[in-house]
């Protein structure tokens, strides 16, 4: 990974001057419940949990799978029907390049709702998945009940002030840096990322890094480039459903919590019904660092969103 992309990730996702924790014994992730069924929807793989009337659709972030949402899936599946998506190329899935990954995703998503007779789900995404959730809310707010993004924004924060051309150039640099990585190189990067940006828990670093490194580097490059090259802010006015942004915040940081909150609110200012809620004591994988706080914030939002 080149230093430019590493700096973007560090600045964009945590706004922190974080120290690298000493490596500790690897901890395990909570297990996923037993899936009631699984199926493919175009390029998407879908695992289904629970059986409640209201549907929640979980979208993992870059290089992640449903394991990243395991605690929330276990928490909400007794009362909701959970559809946990895996994007092509991630978590051991095969990857076929597409000139428009965001467009392919949304097409497969809306077709899945039709085929599975899913009415007005709540879409919940992390990182890249959060940006995809916002994109869906802009496209067809009439087909959703609400959208939740955990540290996924309408524009990648590190390039928010760039022009479209500059953003595209940054995306190209990222693709060149990542697509040819070996598994060992990818794992080394993920370990460094988890230590400094991903999690506050040193015991989770190795576990999360190994999970993320189980993705295709070409898929990580392509999806990451699509994310960096996207700016959804001009269409935010169309996202009329309730929108919740969960903002991780951990000290030490070069910005105060109020400064970080103001920045997130500025990026989401165009959305008619957007709310930003801080998750304290958490880095990018806040649902793993602070699962109880994330569960509570989601539940409170679900109870208020109509």
Domain boundaries, the chain: 3-304
**Span 46-85, pLDDT tens digits:** 999 999 999 999 999 999 999 999 999 999 999 999 999 9
For range 147-167, the mean pLDDT: 95
User: Which residues, at least 6 apart from 274, have a Cβ–Cβ distance to it below 8 Å?
Assistant: 236, 239, 243, 244, 245, 268
Q: What is the pLDDT of residue 240?
A: 98
Band (pLDDT 50/70/90 cuts) for residue 25 is low
Buried-state track 159-194, b at ≥16 Cβ within 10 A, e below 16 = bbebeeeebeebbebbbebbbebeeeebbebbbbbb
Residues 173-185 pLDDT 10s: 877 788 899 999 9
Reduced to 3 states, what is the DSSP secondary structure of residue 250?
A: coil
CA torsion 171-243-80-198 (nearest 10°) is 40
- At 170, the pLDDT band (50, 70, 90 cuts) reads confident
Q: Quick one: CA torsion of 158, 160, 164, 165, rounded to 10 degrees?
A: -30
The 10 Å CB-count burial string (b at 16+, else e) for 131-157 is bbbbbbbbbebebbbbbbbbbbbbbbb
Residue 259 class from Cβ within 10 Å (0-12 exposed, 13-18 middle, 19+ buried)? exposed
Fold observed for domain 3-304: Rossmann fold (3.40.50)
Q: What is the 3-state secondary structure (H, E, C) of 32-49?
A: CCCCCEEEEECCEEEEEE
Which 8-state DSSP code applies to residue 16?
-
93-122 pLDDT per residue, tens: 999 889 999 999 999 999 999 999 999 999
pLDDT for 187-246, tens place per residue? 999 999 999 999 999 999 999 999 999 999 999 999 999 999 999 999 999 999 999 999
Q: Rounded to two decimals, what is the model's pTM? A: 0.92
- Check residue 305 and give its pLDDT: 83
Which one is predicted more confidently, 172 or 175? Answer: 172
Mean pLDDT over residues 129-137, rounded?
Answer: 98
Q: How far apart are CA 208 and CA 201, in angstroms?
A: 11
Strand partners for 146: 122
Beta-bridge partners for 120: none
Q: Among 5-9, 24-28, 268-272, whose mean pLDDT is lowest?
A: 5-9
- Look at the block and give the residue holding tokens 């392919």: 104
Asked whether residue 278 carries a pLDDT value surpassing 50, the answer given is yes
**The tokens of 60 are what?**
């993992």
* Average pLDDT taken over every residue of the chain: 91
Give the C-alpha separation, 271 to 265, whole Å. Answer: 10
> What distance separates the 2 farthest-apart alpha carbons in the chain?
48
């Amino acid at each position: 990974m080149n230093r430019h992309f590493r700096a973007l990730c560090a600045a964009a996702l945590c706004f922190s001057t974080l120290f690298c924790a000493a490596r500790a014994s690897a901890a395990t992730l909570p297990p996923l419940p037993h899936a009631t069924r699984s199926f493919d929807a175009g390029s998407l793989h879908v695992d289904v949990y629970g059986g409640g009337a209201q549907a929640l659709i979980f979208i993992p972030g870059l290089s992640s799978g449903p394991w990243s949402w395991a605690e929330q899936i276990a928490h909400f599946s007794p009362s909701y029907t959970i559809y946990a998506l895996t994007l092509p190329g991630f978590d051991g899935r095969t990857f076929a390049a597409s000139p428009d990954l965001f467009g392919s995703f949304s097409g497969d998503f809306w077709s899945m709702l039709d085929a599975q007779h899913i009415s007005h789900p709540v879409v919940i995404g992390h990182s890249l998945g959060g940006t995809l959730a916002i994109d869906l809310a802009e496209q067809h707010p009439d087909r959703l009940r609400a959208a939740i993004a955990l540290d996924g924004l309408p524009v990648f924060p590190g390039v928010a002030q760039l022009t479209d051309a500059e953003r595209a150039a940054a995306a190209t640099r990222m693709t060149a840096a990542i697509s040819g990585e070996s598994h060992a190189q990818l794992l080394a990067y993920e370990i460094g990322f988890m230590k400094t940006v991903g999690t506050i828990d040193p015991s989770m670093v190795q576990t999360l890094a190994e999970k993320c490194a189980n993705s295709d580097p070409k898929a990580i490059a392509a999806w990451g480039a699509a994310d960096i090259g996207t700016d959804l802010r001009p269409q935010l006015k169309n996202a009329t459903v309730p929108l919740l942004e969960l903002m991780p915040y951990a000290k030490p940081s070069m910005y105060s919590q109020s400064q970080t909150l103001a920045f997130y609110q500025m990026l989401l200012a165009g959305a008619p019904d957007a709310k930003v809620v801080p998750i304290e004591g958490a880095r990018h994988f806040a649902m793993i660092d602070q699962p109880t706080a994330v569960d509570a914030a989601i539940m409170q939002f679900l109870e208020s969103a109509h």
